[in-house]
Structure 1
Amino acid sequence: MRRNEKVEATLTAEEKEILQHLCDEAGCTEAELIRSVLISRSISLDELETGKKIEHEKNKALHNCKRKHAPKKSGECGEAIAENA
């Protein structure tokens, strides 16, 4: 397959050094490293999107759960205090 697309990234000096170190360890170019990461990714964009939706629903449920339960009043030692009616 012909490679027609090109990407560009702006890195800090530290990030560039890390990238170069990874390339040296793998014995490949920056482009080869990027392609290998893309190819070897086991998670798809669809799975990422589904994961985000699930996480959002969990957070929403936890938030609603916390709001429903009023905190119990307690004494100095943490024991519950009976409220006067």
Structure 2
Amino acid sequence: MITHSAAAIYRELGGHGPRLIHIAPANGFPPEAYVPLAAGLAPLGRIIGYRPRPLRVDGDAEPGGTWRDLAAELITDLQAVASQPVIGI
């Protein structure tokens, strides 16, 4: 279950079960762009979409940082909601 504080970062996209499938955004698309993909994956597990900091309402949209910085944030954010391995797409 995603807590209220994580709701700004993640969006539940369907599915259920112990397997967590994480859809990372490509080229800045928000999680909502992946609803059709998530529908196809839903029988395989619980699907969450990630909203990186530049796409968050309260996020920092200014350029800066590196891809490594964004990857480190993603890892930290995933660790906050997942205690088991995650399938990443």
Compute the TM-score of the two structures, normalised by the length of structure 1: 0.20
Structure number with larger C-alpha Rg: 1
Larger relative strand fraction: 2
Compute the TM-score of the two structures, normalised by the length of structure 2: 0.20
**Bigger relative contact order (CA 8 A; separation at least 6):** 2
Larger relative helix fraction: 1
